[in-house]
A = this chain, B = another copy of it.
Amino acid sequence: MLELKVDLAERSYPIFIGTGLLSESDCFLPWIKGRQVAIVTNATVAAHYLQLIQMVLAGHDVTIITLPDGEQYKNLTTLNQIFDQLLRQRHGRQTTLVALGGGVIGDMAGFAAACYQRGVDFIQIPTTLLAQVDSSVGGKTGVNHTLGKNMIGAFYQPNVVVIDTATLDTLADRELAAGLAEVIKYGLIGDPSFYQWLLTNIERLTQRDPEAIACAIHRSCQNKARIVEADETESGQRALLNFGHTFGHAIETHTGYGSWLHGEAVAVGMVMAADLSRREGFIANSDVNQLVDLLVRVNLPVTPPANIGPDDFARLMAVDKKTLNGQLRVVLLKSIGSAMICDTFNQQNLRDCFESFCS
């Protein structure tokens, strides 16, 4: 078992990474202070893993809250279903919410934990590669709004994150690929040697080599933890993690959440952000092509959907959280393995980027 500590003063917490951890009570019980526990999950994940968790929590009063599966349900209405059940089962302030599922479940259960009675304990069990390398570090929780993604939420840290790599056995290839988009992102924005390792080893990951997968999760979480520790509430450098996301969120909003996976939209967003970095003169054409090649090896999309136009991108990106007093900010690559936040780029380059990607 690998262990990592996310160091955020009194909000610090450990991440455990290993095979079969869902059955390890030592990973859970020390972080549960009351008798009441509520497991938030969806039917797909519950079918595979709920029984294992229930065995570990046998001594507790457990409420199961099953949410509809999919990003399109990540909204205030579904959030309120969690509150309904917590209140009906009379969960008090000492309760612990356990998120068992992917990013949607983690974001909603975490936000529910942040808001229920103004904050209760929270344990995260991410079951997708994306959630394991992304939402397991940093405490970002929240829901979508029809006018923008993740616009309503809180920074709220879990008590512990338990990553059981065995849960990836039941993950669809498409979901695995979406997670690898974020893994590749960590290399691109701040870890050139990890990026080199990925260029060589990417097929070990797509073929689910357990050792390579655990290594990539650990390295990704380390990279994210280092950035989040320096900037918990995203007032500065944490925004680097949004590399590819400003473009990607526009795609997700345009397609209505749910038809594209987050990681797929991020893959396209990274290519577009790399293209803009090239237009700004920071990286070479060959760097962009190498990235496109790497993403294609993972079977990820590298161009936006056909029905989104340059004006759609311009409009949707203007409401993104990364606007500062109305000025769009994007994350660009200074070089492969080093990113920066930029709000002084050439607007025509951005327009050209949109035009070249929208056929």
Contacts and interface: CB of A to CB of B under 8 A. Distances in A.
Interface string A114-132: 1111110000000000000
A80 B80 CA distance: 12
Nearest to A79: B76
Contacts of A92: 321, 323-326
Nearest to A93: B321
Contacts of A76: 76, 79-80
A172 B87 CA distance: 35
A24 interface: no
Contacts of A234: 118
Main secondary structure of the interface of A (DSSP, over half): mixed
Contacts of A324: 92-94
Given A87-B145, A147-B84, A152 B325 contact: no
A147 B34 contact: no
Interface residues on A, range: 35 or more
Given A119-B233, A326-B90, A83 B145 contact: yes
A142 B148 CA distance: 22
A91 to B, nearest CB: 9
B155 A325 contact: no
Contact of A153 (B35, B84, B115, B318): B115
A89 to B, nearest CB: 10
A88 interface: yes
Contacts of A325: 34-36, 92, 94
Given A34-B325, A84-B147, A325-B36, A90 B319 contact: yes
A149 to B, nearest CB: 11
Interface string A325-343: 1100000000000000000
A154 interface: yes
Interface string A147-177: 1100111110000000000000000000000
Contacts of A117: 151, 153, 321
A11 to B, nearest CB: 12
Interface of A: 34-36, 76, 79-80, 83-84, 87-88, 90, 92-94, 114-119, 140, 142, 145, 147-148, 151-155, 233-234, 318-319, 321, 323-326
Given A116-B151, A118-B142, A118-B153, 16 more contacts: A36-B325, A83-B151, A84-B145, A87-B147, A92-B321, A92-B326, A93-B321, A114-B154, A115-B115, A115-B142, A115-B152, A116-B152, A117-B153, A117-B321, A118-B155, A118-B234
Closest 10 pairs (CB-CB, A-B): A87-B147, A92-B323, A118-B153, A115-B152, A117-B321, A35-B325, A118-B155, A34-B325, A76-B76, A90-B319
